[in-house]
Amino acid sequence: MKRKVIACIMIACMFISQVLMGCELPDVKAKGALLMEADSGRILFEKNGYEALPMASTTKIMTCIVALENGNVDDIVTVSKRACAAPPVKLKLQIGEKQRLGDLLYSLMLESHNDTAVAIAEHIGGSVEHFCEMMTAKAREIGAETANFKTPNGLDAQGHGASAYDMALIARYAVQNPEFIKIVTTELISIPTKEVTGSRRHDLQCKNRFLYCYKGANGMKTGFTNKAGHCFVGSANRNNMQLVGVALAAGWGKAGKTRKYTDVINMMNYGFKNYEKVNILSLEGSYMNVPITKAIDKTIDLACDEGITLPLTHVEKENIVLKKVVPPSLKAPIKKGEIVGEVQILCGGTVLATAPLKAQESIKKANALDYIKNWIKNK
């Protein structure tokens, strides 16, 4: 809860600053929406982004991730009666049919087949229920604290939901997987892609219109149920900046079907128009030294061993401040690599990011003999 309050305060400050800067916020009708820059995780826009909502078949992003990380694409999946009984949209798998796991992932992500999701869940998790536990555990690992998965296909179920922020974190994680991106950006494919005894041919076509209408689009997943309404998670990369946008409950009926794309496109346009990635903290520019006590050495060198790159508006770029937060002095012993402070990246008093400051050498605590030796040496 504390993290959510802090995040909401930061978002409020960001929106106020954007209004002052003259940046027009995107028109978004979805009940829950969020735009995130993938590399840094910085939130560029948010509307009710922390309320858990039904997310329909955008669920399948996590289904695909868990399958890729816990299975082998050449695994042979045998379809069960339970999988065949899943409601439409379906690949119309038959009981006992065999397909490669990697091929079924195309069915899952390109055409959002519900029977495929169940077949994958049973193969990876042993049961649908255990697979959903794996999905929720993976969400926690990623940082999606309010996401709970009760179905592998996103069909409505009690307790099944996630916030727009959760889905952005999951999408941010997914775009780092080349195999995932390969799957969701495929336009046409026929499975099985390799001969499999007991298999049947299925022709698949990507149903994600965003891929065809938005420059730089590289994913991701649509969704709809009566409870969730039309939902969409989209991703795009321009000028080396990867954005992920989420729209949950964008509407119902024909208007909602179009609006889910419009909401994400409007957020993406806002992000690409107003932000650019800026290298704020380079490895070479972060050195400093701090007094150290109870040691022969008088100071110790500190450095940040990681750079910081953030998406910033033009005005933010002109108002960035670096603040090094360290104690007035340090006390020996100190180990090399020990974190003893941090560099804060501030804009308008808001901390946008931090990086640890680490000791660049080990310094032992001096004893009486050390002081005597040092006195003799410098006499």
Residue 19 lies in a domain: no
| Rounded alpha-carbon distances, angstroms, from residue 172 to 35, 180, 360 | 11, 12, 33
* Helix (H) or strand (E) segment spanning residue 212: helix 210-213
Are 225 and 270 within one domain?
A: yes
Residue 295 lies in a domain: yes
Q: Which region among 17-31, 68-82, 181-195 has the lowest average model confidence (pLDDT)?
A: 17-31
Are 284 and 240 within one domain?
A: no
Are 284 and 270 within one domain?
A: no
- C-alpha–C-alpha distance, residues 322 and 27, integer Å: 33
- Full DSSP string of 64-117: HHHHHHHS-TTPEEEPPHHHHTPPSS-----TT-EEEHHHHHHHHHHS--HHHH
pLDDT digits (tens, 9 = 90+) for 106-122: 999 999 999 999 999 99
> What is the structure's pLDDT at 278?
94
Are 254 and 360 within one domain?
A: no
How many domains is the chain partitioned into structurally? 2
Residue 37 lies in a domain: yes
pLDDT digits (tens, 9 = 90+) for 132-153: 999 999 999 999 999 999 999 9
Are 270 and 158 within one domain?
A: yes
Are 38 and 138 within one domain?
A: yes
Are 321 and 210 within one domain?
A: no
> What is the structure's pLDDT at 8?
46
pLDDT digits (tens, 9 = 90+) for 222-259: 999 999 999 999 999 999 999 999 999 999 999 999 99
Are 251 and 344 within one domain?
A: no
Range of the domain at 248: 32-274
What average pLDDT does the segment 263-272 reach? 98
Residue 302: phi and psi, rounded to 5, are -120, 150
Are 373 and 236 within one domain?
A: no
Domain boundary among 274, 309, 328: 274
Residue 2 lies in a domain: no
Are 85 and 193 within one domain?
A: yes
Res 3 pLDDT > 90? no
Domain boundary among 242, 274, 306: 274
Full-model pTM: 0.88
